């Protein structure tokens, strides 16, 4: 076999005719699974590179630039789908005019019967374990851990085998691994004088390690590292390549996904005989659209792929899949005028798929077995979030309990040492954390009774210290919550209670410093608003400054200037104040409503309606609040649920008039129910189109 490295030789498939003396430039990694020469003659040749046999589609200086240019163009096409048609037409004309036949990777056939039943239009689908091959970005979309085994017959005893596993994680995207192998046994080898060299076995395999992750803006990215191995008899070669992939789920068109796959960027470099061969680059761009049918019991998906190989002509694949009751699937596709078809059966987490593809060498039969296992990623994410919330709540409760126990213990010690004022302070702190603490209430009473037994001055002093301690703690709490006005008030009250108290003085200094920053910020905002002619808003901003700093002369001048400007443009200042006050009250009411504090929302809104009794938004919110506060609300919600299910049953049975009638009853009770309103529009559309289900 060693002399094969020193002279050209030819290898023919066992049982077929060998043509001595003919040497082709491409080694077997790029000619397998074979070429057709003449009628029904399949030959595999290995030999030296000759100038006559080599055809370059691009000048040498542009060879490395071509994939970069194509990748950039396709990235733009993913974001602007209409440009895909223009890009495809241009790329195809260049390839057709510059290439005289080309080659692709030995694995360009694809993997997975589901994808191949759709003619390989899977770049923008890639939602199962085969995403490792088609588009690694799809790994981040998996719902469960999945595995797929695939087998395809090729020709003359050759076959393609594939195994992959994809595993989604809650926080770190999806991981994947795949192994592919193409093999042919019993190849008869001849030298250039047609002398038999025995038989050889050929195989080429890839191990793929993939990762995919979601990023903002509905985009998913992925990458794969491929370890390629090639074997021909005693010869072997190894190399590595990289794939990249991307998904973009169109935000405003539900079900539409765009995909991009950059394969072998760079490709593996293999040296089997004398020359180094690089796996050709391929750029694939795809789009898919999926939607549910028959009340979400069935699903249909259509997909389109454009493939731009480096050494072959541009090709287009189109395919579709229809899933019935998530149980049976039928598929069909078309690629370069050749049909493919397939079907699948799913039972629980297991599925079996079959596809048949039409090639120049005949029909290819392909089989896949897949399984999903483990909890869905959504369930795992919910469980982790619940556990996180429980842990946070537990930690907060433990900290609260620890503080209560600490202050209660200090209070007991102080009381035992006849330090009744200190005990009162500690029990008051306990009540701050737990207002309903029975033990604290009882001991506060005891401490006060003990203090009352002392002289009046001692009692006043102890009470003053207790109030001082509470004021300082409350002031610090307000300052932490950025309620600076309330914080300053508490610190000043503490300072008035005990002039010269160091902690109160420090709190006043800190609060004054923070207020100064806020005053400067609001003053700058007021000046900016006044400069842009928004005098009412400027008036409001200057008012905030004055609330924080009552002696601020600049704020007073700003208020007067804003008032004059409002009067100058003919606007009523009193009305402006009313509007500002009403807006504040309405905003508070909405926030209270959103956090389901309906009583507080009602209080704020009633104050607002005193200012503007006819405000439509306020009246509508008032109706909603009264509805939420109504004791009949649980009964109404139960009735809404019953009517909704009744309408869905009518809708699925094709009785759209009855469905509309049921749903309108819901709107009568809940006019803001957007889901029911959309369902009514769908039913009306079905009626307009004359669609009916056969009874």
Residue that wins the pLDDT comparison between 299 and 194: 299
- Identify the domain boundary among 453, 474, 495: 453
What whole-number distance in Å separates Cα of residue 104 and Cα of residue 120? 15
Query: Which pLDDT band, with edges at 50, 70 and 90, does 332 fall under?
Result: very high
Structural domain boundaries enclosing 654: 633-688
Report pLDDT for 565.
76
Lowest pLDDT segment from 161-170, 456-465, 548-557 = 456-465
Other Cβ atoms less than 10 A from the Cβ of 547: the count is 14
Lowest pLDDT segment from 87-96, 270-279, 528-537 = 87-96
With beta carbons less than 8 A apart as the criterion, state whether 238 and 206 touch: no
Residue 176 has pLDDT above 90, yes or no: yes
- Identify the domain boundary among 414, 429, 453: 453
User: The CATH number of the domain where 218 resides is what?
Assistant: 2.40.160.60
Provide the number of structural domains found in the chain: 3
User: The CATH number of the domain where 641 resides is what?
Assistant: 1.25.40.10
3-class state of residue 263 by DSSP? strand
Report pLDDT for 330.
95
Residue 626 lies in a domain: no
Query: Which pLDDT band, with edges at 50, 70 and 90, does 470 fall under?
Result: low
Residue that wins the pLDDT comparison between 617 and 445: 445
115-139: b (≥16 Cβ within 10 Å) or e: bbbbbbbbbbbbbbbbbbbbbbbbb
Lowest pLDDT segment from 6-10, 198-202, 458-462 = 6-10
| DSSP classification of residue 126 | -
Report pLDDT for 103.
61
3-class state of residue 431 by DSSP? helix
Query: Which pLDDT band, with edges at 50, 70 and 90, does 96 fall under?
Result: very low
Residue 403 lies in a domain: yes
The mean pLDDT value of the chain amounts to 76
Q: Are 276 and 415 in the same domain?
A: no
The whole-number average pLDDT for the span 371-394 is 90
- Identify the domain boundary among 453, 486, 501: 453
Q: Which of 357, 352, 355 is nearest to 337 (CA)?
A: 357
Report pLDDT for 568.
67
Report pLDDT for 572.
54
Query: Which pLDDT band, with edges at 50, 70 and 90, does 535 fall under?
Result: confident
The whole-number average pLDDT for the span 190-202 is 74
Residue that wins the pLDDT comparison between 118 and 234: 118
What whole-number distance in Å separates Cα of residue 270 and Cα of residue 266? 12
Instruction: At 278, list the tokens.
Output: 């690089």
Residue 50 has pLDDT above 80, yes or no: no
Report pLDDT for 61.
35
Report pLDDT for 353.
95
Residue 398 lies in a domain: yes
Find which of 25-34, 135-144, 479-488 is predicted with most confidence, using mean pLDDT.
135-144
Share of the chain above pLDDT 70, in %: 74
Report pLDDT for 241.
92
Residue 27 lies in a domain: no
Lowest pLDDT segment from 176-185, 423-432, 476-485, 497-506 = 476-485
Share of the chain above pLDDT 90, in %: 25
Residue 224 has pLDDT above 50, yes or no: yes
Residue that wins the pLDDT comparison between 148 and 484: 148
Report pLDDT for 92.
41
Q: Are 250 and 383 in the same domain?
A: no
Residue 316 lies in a domain: yes
Residue 487 lies in a domain: no
Q: Are 202 and 246 in the same domain?
A: yes
Query: Which pLDDT band, with edges at 50, 70 and 90, does 40 fall under?
Result: very low
Q: Are 358 and 391 in the same domain?
A: no
Report pLDDT for 591.
61
Q: Are 343 and 393 in the same domain?
A: no
In the numeric block, the tokens 């919600």 are attached to 637
Q: Are 120 and 158 in the same domain?
A: yes
What whole-number distance in Å separates Cα of residue 638 and Cα of residue 643? 9
Residue 73 has pLDDT above 50, yes or no: no
Provide long-range contacts, Cβ within 8 A and 24+ apart, for 660-669: 660/684, 666/640, 669/636, 669/639, 669/640
Residue 95 has pLDDT above 70, yes or no: no
Q: Are 203 and 141 in the same domain?
A: yes
User: The CATH number of the domain where 426 resides is what?
Assistant: 1.25.40
Q: Are 300 and 391 in the same domain?
A: no
- Kindly write down the DSSP assignment for every residue of 314-349, as one continuous string: -EEEEEEEEEETTTEEEEEEEETTEEEEEEEEEETT
3-class SS string, 486-545: HHHHHHHHHHHHCCCCHHHHHHHHHHHHHHHHHHHHHHHHHHHHHHCCCHHHHHHHHHHH
Q: Are 225 and 247 in the same domain?
A: yes
| DSSP classification of residue 237 | E
Lowest pLDDT segment from 27-31, 447-451, 653-657 = 27-31
Query: Which pLDDT band, with edges at 50, 70 and 90, does 617 fall under?
Result: confident
Report pLDDT for 569.
60
Lowest pLDDT segment from 90-99, 396-405, 408-417, 460-469 = 90-99
| DSSP classification of residue 139 | G
Report pLDDT for 219.
93
Q: Are 409 and 291 in the same domain?
A: no
Q: Are 100 and 220 in the same domain?
A: yes
Residue 623 lies in a domain: no
Residue 489 lies in a domain: no
pTM as predicted: 0.48
Q: Are 359 and 386 in the same domain?
A: no
């Amino acid at each position: 076999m060693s002399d094969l490295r020193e002279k050209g030789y030819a290898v023919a498939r066992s049982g077929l005719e060998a043509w001595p003396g003919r040497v082709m430039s491409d080694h077997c990694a790029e000619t397998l699974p074979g070429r057709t020469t003449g009628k029904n003659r399949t030959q595999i040749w290995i030999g030296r590179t000759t100038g006559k046999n080599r055809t370059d589609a691009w000048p040498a200086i542009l060879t490395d630039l071509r994939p970069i240019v194509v990748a950039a163009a396709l990235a733009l096409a993913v974001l602007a789908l209409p440009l895909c048609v223009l890009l495809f037409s241009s790329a195809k004309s260049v390839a057709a005019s510059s290439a005289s036949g080309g080659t692709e990777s030995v694995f360009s056939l694809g993997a997975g019967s589901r994808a191949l039943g759709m003619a390989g239009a899977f770049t923008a689908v890639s939602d199962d374990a085969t995403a490792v091959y088609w588009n690694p970005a799809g790994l981040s979309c998996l719902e469960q851990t999945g595995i797929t085994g695939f087998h395809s017959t090729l020709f003359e005893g050759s076959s393609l085998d594939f195994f992959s596993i994809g595993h989604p994680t809650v926080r770190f995207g999806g991981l994947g691994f795949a192994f592919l192998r193409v093999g042919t046994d019993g190849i008869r080898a001849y030298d250039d004088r047609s002398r038999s060299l025995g038989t050889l076995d050929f195989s080429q395999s890839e191990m793929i390690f993939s990762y995919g992750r979601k990023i903002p803006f509905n985009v998913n990215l992925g990458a794969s590292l491929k370890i390629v191995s090639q074997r021909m008899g005693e010869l072997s070669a190894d190399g590595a390549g990289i794939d990249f992939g991307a998904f973009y789920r169109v935000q405003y068109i539900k079900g539409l996904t765009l995909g991009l796959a950059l394969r072998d960027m760079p490709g593996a470099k293999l040296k089997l005989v004398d020359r180094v061969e690089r796996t050709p680059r391929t750029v694939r761009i795809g789009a898919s659209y999926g939607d549910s049918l028959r009340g979400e019991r069935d699903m249909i998906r259509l997909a389109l792929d454009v493939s731009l190989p480096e050494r072959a002509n541009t090709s287009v694949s189109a395919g579709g899949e229809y899933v019935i009751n998530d149980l049976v699937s039928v598929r069909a596709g078309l690629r370069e005028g050749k049909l493919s078809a397939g079907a699948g059966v799913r039972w629980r987490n297991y599925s079996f798929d079959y596809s048949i593809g039409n090639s120049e060498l005949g029909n290819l039969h392909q089989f896949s077995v897949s399984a999903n296992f483990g909890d869905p990623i959504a369930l795992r994410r919910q469980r982790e979030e619940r556990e996180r919330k429980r842990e946070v709540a537990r930690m907060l409760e433990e900290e609260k309990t620890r503080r209560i126990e600490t202050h209660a213990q200090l209070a007991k010690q102080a009381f035992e040492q006849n330090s009744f004022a200190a005990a009162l302070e500690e029990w008051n702190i306990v009540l701050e954390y737990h207002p309903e603490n029975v033990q604290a209430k009882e001991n506060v009473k005891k401490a006060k009774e003990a203090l009352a037994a002392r002289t009046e001055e001692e009692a006043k002093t102890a009470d003053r210290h207790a109030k001082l301690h509470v004021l300082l703690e409350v002031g610090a709490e307000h300052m932490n919550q950025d309620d600076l006005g309330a914080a300053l008030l508490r610190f000043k009250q503490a300072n008035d209670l005990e002039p010269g108290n160091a902690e109160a003085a420090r709190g006043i200094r800190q609060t004054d410093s923070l207020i100064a920053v806020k005053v400067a910020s609001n003053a700058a905002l007021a000046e900016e608003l006044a400069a842009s002619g928004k005098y009412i808003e400027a008036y409001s901003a200057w008012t905030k400054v004055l609330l924080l700093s009552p002696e601020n002369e600049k704020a007073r001048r700003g208020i007067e200037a804003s008032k004059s400007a409002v009067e100058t443009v003919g606007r009523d200042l009193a009305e402006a104040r009313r509007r500002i006050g009403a807006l504040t009250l309405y905003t508070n009411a909405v926030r209270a409503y959103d956090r389901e504090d309906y009583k507080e929302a009602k209080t704020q809104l009633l104050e607002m309606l005193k200012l503007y009794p006819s405000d439509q938004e306020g009246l509508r919110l008032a109706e909603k609040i009264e509805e939420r506060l109504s004791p009949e609300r649980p009964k109404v919600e139960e009735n809404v649920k019953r009517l909704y299910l009744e309408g869905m049953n009518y809708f699925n049975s094709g009785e759209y008039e009855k469905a509309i009638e049921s749903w309108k009853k819901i709107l009568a009770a809940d006019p803001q129910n957007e889901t029911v309103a959309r369902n009514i529009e769908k039913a009306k559309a079905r009626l307009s189109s004359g669609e009916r289900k056969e009874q």
